A = this chain, B = another copy of it.
């Protein structure tokens, strides 16, 4: 654990420039607006360790797959989030000395991300001899105007002697990617122009050998300042505007840079892109800085109004949940259904790919409750639109139907470890489950009938081809899979996978009965096919141990040396940093919920005794070395009224990045797992469920807390739940009256006054 920021309810703030942990500070002070975002690097060059990263949603490059030994079926390329053309760059000179916080002596440093407004502020005073110059730099990516980036400098001469200030504001396409083959550079400049105080640059991603699209981005910068413009800069891959002025004692310089960022994702050709960029740039130039900031604050306020969770009695927990919500919303707020929730959002370039099953498994439940229904629907449509890719993936493996990818931008699998790529097929089950989850929560079958059924049918066809009939045992089996517990690979009959496959077939058959004749004709599921699905449903092997009364994670699991995690010496944890991979694989230790993931998905269908026996058996074997593990266990522990365990699990998820628990936040934030703390509070502590259209809560109050309060959208209503020592208060803030269950008793909620 490493806590580099101070505890504050609404701010991520530090007063120390921590050079040792600069990248960590950068990850944590990332900002984004769903369309684009950036790490918290400084505007000016920094000569010590730093990772400057700006990312634009949906702009990527297919990097050649690198493996030790090629295996049939491996994807040809691995889609990388690429580091965009740098439009944030501003270098500063004071009396011809270049500012570089790695070496320039400073005082009164502050770095502060205001989560209420999404504005990042940096303050410091440069000190040299009797010279003291105070900088206050604020930046944001606008959620009121997605193409807008704004950075604003106040530079004040606190000393008695005049100081000459020069700023060079750039757009620079000479950017390389850290996490690619050979630190490659991906941008070619197409056109650029620069005036004395503004400029634009249009660049394109370089060609690739895989037939995936190239992307063009256009960036136009304008400036508002009381400094004087000098001659502009134009180089091969870089344009710059230079401004200079001399500040008398106590004098201030104002300097604002506005950049409009457009991409070929939204324009048909370069001409319209350039025209669009110009129009937008002209528009924002009309506004005052105060207007732009006010719009930003207003939009964030709307989001917080629906989504804020208030915790009293635990300031660290309060900060943690807000940080997670802030970063999730900065990554994705559902405006663009071509985008999804990348594992690092706009906070780093590691991993690559935009979409993992985390979205459906962990993020969708949060967006269902915290954002408009359309947002969740967009997440589902994203997969519907990528059906062709999913068909391709199944074909590559010689299978029918659709296999959704482990990692992708465009629906085509990008991952390239056989035990994951080819075998972690349970992901397909979660894609199907998400359709069910959405339909159950919203009560709206429109999506299911219009598009969801296509996805369900395609996935069912995959399962029906992927199972095999074991003559010997007289059952259908699924061999050669990796379950959610990636600490076992290539196992047979993973209970979770088999159960989800069986469930998908059932749900698809039931849903097919609801759709129009025309849709049924289109999908052409034959009677034979249905009969085969039913046969699989009836004869699917679901490993159970009668004696222990548990579901068996996979074949042979119970043959292991089943020692609990508490037997592992502390200095060998986490095992993924201390044990050879083979030792991890044959150990009984579970990375993240596996059987329990399945029980969570259908938490209301299993008797308490079953949930208890499985939890009691598997949780002690679980090392929770995935950021997706703790929340599921928190929810199940809460369900079983293991309150201390639920709180322990919550604490492992709530401040994962803020306290750098996994020691890898330098690479960027764990965006998709940020839903975990919210799920742990709402589905865990507050016991929120939706069953047969009925919303219910069964809350408890963690011992350390004095109260917590959250709001959820539910079928056109906004409901607030507050839990404190006095009990639980549920208010209907918006929408029609509704009866819910609270602690298993009906509670009629009246409309808001």
Contact = CB atoms under 8 A, between A and B. Distances in A.
A68 B580 contact: no
A579 B398 contact: yes
Given A397-B582, A580-B422, A479 B67 contact: no
Interface string A531-561: 0000000000000000000000001101111
A417 B68 contact: yes
Given A489-B490, A585-B490, A479 B559 contact: yes
A129 to B, nearest CB: 46
Contact of A68 (B66, B489, B585): B66
A412 interface: no
A597 to B, nearest CB: 21
Nearest to A561: B468
Nearest to A580: B73
Interface string A548-582: 00000001101111100000000000001111111
A423 interface: yes
A473 interface: yes
A609 interface: no
Nearest to A559: B470
A398 B561 contact: no
A472 interface: yes
Given A418-B582, A480-B585, A582-B418, A470 B71 contact: no
Contacts of A584: 72
A125 interface: no
A65 interface: yes
A338 B471 CA distance: 52
Interface string A196-225: 000000000000000000000000000000
Given A68-B66, A561-B468, A479 B418 contact: no
A29 interface: no
Contact of A397 (B477, B558, B580): B580
A416 interface: yes
A583 interface: yes
A559 B68 contact: no
Contacts of A399: 583
Interface string A406-421: 0000000000111100
Nearest to A473: B559
A72 B580 contact: yes
Interface residues of A, number: 50
A403 to B, nearest CB: 10
A72 B576 contact: yes
B73 A471 contact: no
A654 B225 CA distance: 83
Interface of A is mostly: loop
A73 B398 contact: no
A602 interface: no
Interface string A446-472: 000000000000000000000011111
A68 B556 contact: no
A581 B416 CA distance: 12
A703 interface: no
A331 to B, nearest CB: 23
A416 B480 CA distance: 21
Given A422-B582, A583-B398, A562 B471 contact: yes
A480 B582 contact: yes
Contacts of A471: 561-562
A251 interface: no
A441 B71 CA distance: 40
Contacts of A68: 65-68, 78, 416-417
A114 interface: no
Contacts of A418: 581-582
Contacts of A67: 66-68
A675 interface: no
Nearest to A468: B561
A468 B582 contact: no
A498 interface: no
A560 B479 CA distance: 8
Contacts of A492: 556, 559
8 contacts: A68-B68, A71-B581, A397-B582, A398-B580, A422-B580, A468-B561, A479-B560, A555-B559
Interface of A: 65-69, 71-74, 78, 396-399, 416-419, 422-423, 468-473, 477, 479-480, 489-490, 492, 555-556, 558-562, 576-586
A-B pairs, 3 with minimum CB distance:
A73-B580, A422-B582, A480-B586
